[in-house]
Amino acid sequence: MCGIAGFVSLDGPRPAWWLDRLGRRLVGAMHHRGPDDSGLHLSDDGRVLLAATRLAVRDRSPSGHQPMVSPDGEVALAYNGELYASRTRISGWPARSRCDTEQFLQAVHAGPPTVVGELDGMFAAAWYDRRTGRTVLARDHFGVKPLVWCRVAGGILFASEVATLLAGGLVEPRVDWTAFLHRAYVRMDAIDDGTWLAGIHSVEPGHLMVIDGDRISHRRYWMPAPAEREVTVDEVAEAFRRAVDIRRPADVPMAAVVSGGVDSSAVFGALRALHSDVTPYVVRYEGTEAGQNEDLPYALEVARAAGVEPVHCDVAVADVEGLTAVAVRHLQRPFLHGAELALLRTYQRIAADGRVVVFSGHGSDELWGYQEGTYFPIVDPTRPPDTHGEHYLRTRLYRDERPLWHRMVDELCRHVGVSEEDVTGRVWSRTLRPYRELATLDPHKRGRYHLMRRFLVYVNEMVDACSSAYSLEDRPVFQDVTLAGLAFSMPEWRKNRGGLGGSKPFLKQALAPYLPPSVLHRPKKGFPAPRDTAFLARLRGLVESVGLPADAPLSGELLAAAGTGELLFLYSSQMWLRQLPRADGGPTHGSGDHDVATPDVGLGGGTGPVATVAGS
């Protein structure tokens, strides 16, 4: 996957040498995202720097070089992602390449920034339009591709990854412990437009960020339209087939992650039905603990039904340290689930085998699953108090469902002087924002949108960080605008009533041609984390060797009882906090500061060659 970064001055021009050195630092920090090519673009007025690294997936020739400039020199684009199709006609100059970057450039050159809402794809993009003097940042409809930014002295710095922002030398990371513990409390949730570091923000999915002179504005360009019509199985089946088909073009070897669940298995089956040469990969944990490899027989059946043997991605106890060190550097947060280990190991193996594009099934649950909304918070005032969203999120979520996790967060709160009420109060207030955005009174559709805007973004950011660490491009089929439109057009109760394995029965009918009966009727299972006693013993030893976040004295009783999730969180938290850079080059262990510091650095030195420095 490509990487983009840049700087926009809010207070006048910067010297070309300063922009060039900053650009080289940014490019060097995101080389893993695009090892095939790199470049810089400096605007003639000295106010805008665009930087890009390229993973050449479609049209691997030099004609796909980035940043890409329109033939008239008026618009320069740094682009990360894939453009699969457009729901409106893209007009422009005669194509100079087969690269989708040029198609995206043609669209934003000819139309207003909101034209990106008509594009089917996954993208994070930044373009400078000399005709208006504006720089626009855009993130795709679902947040598949990340895009983060922060204010620095006199300007805006942005990038595909938090680590790239930090490498620019203009930002000193600060940890706000209230926000840290809030994010730990809600776990698998992107929360809002922030990140795990104070003052570093995320462009929200379906939004534009427009920088015009010294003015900054944020605009929504897309959200699903709720409706209550009769959507047919055939409509969904055709939309799924099209979503798979338009994502197939690639000039590099391809792979698919097959978990043995319905979604990834259907994606692989559809690809094979369309005669795509794609190799399946399955995860296998070391150890014999019951349940931790229960997906494996189903994944093997899916692969063998297509006449191929899957590649096993073995996650061993000895891998924990090395994978954690890689993961926290790219995630820029602690582990919250345990799936990070398996994802990273899978992508590592896929890259070692020379494959570049990976197909996956994530996004299906958030749009089609979870029985009648009982998974997500309900704000329907007619609901009984014990099932109301506020009570559930602030009281039951961990005390009842994950008591060990609750005790861990509670002890950390006491140690750093953060009130638990401050944490749980944020949980509810920030949940309401996306819940109320959708133009409907239906609490289940609002909850569906909440899942798409919060939990799915968390999954997307985890997948992007783990895949890009090994220069791979992950293509999630279910995050398709047409499929999402159908999901929000039908009554929620229709998705999960009756038949076929007790989860997503409506969707399963559409996917049935691509699935073995055993997978089709299999009950829903979450992605497993390692549970074998050998993993627990190794993790407990690692936690004891590195200490705890903020030097917290968590009770020995809690550490002895902690499971894989708690131990991975504690270990990865400490490893992440230790590797955060300071302006003087040393590590940062976290502080209570709430602002991004802007150290006085001269941007001396560089981080490697850059292919081109171009002016408008």
Q: What is the pLDDT of residue 592?
A: 36
The whole-angstrom separation of Cα 321 and Cα 542 is 8
Q: Average pLDDT, whole number, for the chain?
A: 88
Spatial neighbors of 501 by CB under 8 A, at least 6 apart, are: 262, 508, 520, 521, 522, 523, 524
pLDDT at 589 over 70: no
Q: What is the pLDDT of residue 443?
A: 80
- Position 466 confidence tier, pLDDT thresholds 50, 70, 90: very high
pLDDT at 371 over 80: no
Q: Map tokens 């980035």 to a residue.
A: 66
Annotated domain spans of the chain: 3-222, 227-583
Closest CA to 346 of 321, 317, 323, 318: 323
Residue-by-residue DSSP string for 211-226: EETTEEEEEE------
Q: What is the pLDDT of residue 582?
A: 57
The whole-angstrom separation of Cα 270 and Cα 260 is 15
Token digits of residue 332: 């820029």
Out of 195-209, 243-257, 454-468, 515-529, pick the least confident: 515-529
**Residues 39-43: what's their mean pLDDT?**
98
The pair phi, psi for residue 80, each rounded to 5°, is -130, 115
**Residues 111-135: what's their mean pLDDT?**
96
- Position 554 confidence tier, pLDDT thresholds 50, 70, 90: confident
Residue-by-residue DSSP string for 226-265: -------HHHHHHHHHHHHHHT---SS-EEEE--SSHHHH
The residue among 10 and 601 whose pLDDT is bigger is 10
- Cα 221 to Cα 131, 207, 262, 552: the distances in Å are 22, 6, 31, 44
pLDDT tens track for 476-516: 999 999 999 999 999 988 887 765 556 788 999 999 999 99
Which CATH architecture group holds 3-222? 4-Layer Sandwich (3.60)
Residue-by-residue DSSP string for 338-359: SHHHHHHHHHHHHHHTT--EEE
Amino acid at 190: A
pLDDT tens track for 392-405: 777 776 677 788 99
pLDDT tens track for 77-99: 999 999 999 988 888 888 898 99
Amino acid at 521: H
pLDDT at 193 over 70: yes
pLDDT at 317 over 90: yes
Q: What phi-psi label fits residue 613: left (phi over 0), alpha (psi between -120 and 50 degrees) or beta?
A: beta
Out of 104-113, 377-386, 524-533, 549-558, give the one with best mean pLDDT: 104-113
Q: What is the pLDDT of residue 611?
A: 35
Residue-by-residue DSSP string for 175-196: --HHHHHHHHHH-S---SSB-S
The whole-angstrom separation of Cα 12 and Cα 19 is 13
- The class level of CATH for 227-583 reads alpha beta
Closest CA to 1 of 22, 31, 24, 45: 31
Out of 24-33, 300-309, 526-535, give the one with best mean pLDDT: 24-33
Spatial neighbors of 586 by CB under 8 A, at least 6 apart, are: none
Residue-by-residue DSSP string for 304-340: HHTT-PPEEEEE-GGGHHHHHHHHHHHH-S--SSSHH
pLDDT at 113 over 50: yes
Amino acid at 87: R
The whole-angstrom separation of Cα 166 and Cα 601 is 12
227-583 and 3-222 share a CATH fold: no
The whole-angstrom separation of Cα 88 and Cα 188 is 35
Token digits of residue 560: 């002895």
Q: 3-class DSSP state for residue 30? A: coil
pLDDT at 54 over 50: yes
